[in-house]
Amino acid sequence: MNLCLNARDAMPNGGRLTLSTRSLGQGFVELAVQDQGDGMTPEVLAQAMEPFFTTKPVGKGTGLGLSLVYGTMKAHGGTLDLQSRPGQGTRVSLVFPPVVRAPGVLREGQAVPATPVQSLRILLVDDEELIRRTVTPILQVLGHTVHPAAGGLEALQRLEAGLEPDLVILDLNMPELDGSETFSRLRRIRPELPVVFATGYVDERIPAILSRFPKVRILKKPFTIAEIQDVLRGWF
């Protein structure tokens, strides 16, 4: 659905949207979605699957359509190939793996999927509703259970009420109780709980925290799905 909506928006003056399927052998199946829209420049194409990236006007898109499709395919061992040129439309190829994969049945030239991260219970703490609403489904398509909190106080209250997450993704810059103070109080409640600071600006607080606590990492905003997976894969 996300791909079809993107294709529709890329053809404001009309055009043909084609959905096709074919067998690639050895149990692999391709679903292709192709439009006759405006197409993308190489610069736009290079960023098209990153979360929050969009060329649409404010209020017309979240920049999550392609990234969610990409995350879903990766989470299930599939692949996504995106081809586009200005004035020549866009073609998205989704390749689905066999339901049961025997050893050695990957297509020629296809990379072996990375070992998936185990399903985690993640406490996502961010005062921006847009971040909570967009990062939550990304983590969910990667197989995780997400408990969003709108600030440090709410997160601490949920922990004190018995929530037992495997990981906390914590915004550094928040009103009332910022990420640094939230982290300090959190450590008193759950001293061994891994924490990922998600921030667009790394200030002097972060090196001090990293030097004192081993189970802390940094995730720079805006981040990609691959960057989220890399951070989690290093722990779990």
pLDDT tens digits for 30-75? 999 999 998 888 888 887 777 656 655 444 444 456 777 777 777 6
CA distance 161 to 26: 50
- pTM for the whole structure: 0.56
163: Cα separation from own chain's centroid = 23
Specify the pLDDT at position 74. 74
236: closest CA among 150, 167, 172? 167
Specify the pLDDT at position 211. 78
61: Cα separation from own chain's centroid = 16
The fold adopted by the segment(s) 121-233 is: Rossmann fold (3.40.50)
- Between the CA atoms of 122, 127, 133 and 138, what dihedral angle is there, to the nearest 10 degrees? -40
In angstroms, the Cα distances linking 67 to 2, 62, 74, 77 are: 10, 10, 10, 15
pLDDT tens, per residue, the chain with 236 residues:
778 888 888 898 889 999 999 998 888 999 999 999 988 888 888 877 776 566 554 444 444 567 777 777 776 778 888 899 998 999 999 998 886 544 444 444 444 445 556 899 999 999 988 788 878 888 888 889 999 999 999 999 999 999 999 999 999 888 889 898 999 999 999 999 999 998 876 667 777 787 788 789 988 876 777 788 888 887 77
Give span(s): CATH 3.40.50.2300, the chain: 121-233
60: Cα separation from own chain's centroid = 20
In angstroms, the Cα distances linking 141 to 8, 65, 111, 119, 122 are: 24, 12, 21, 11, 13
Superfamily assignment of 2-96 in CATH?
Histidine kinase-like ATPase, C-terminal domain (3.30.565.10)
73: closest CA among 108, 33, 34? 33
Give span(s): CATH 3.30.565.10, the chain: 2-96
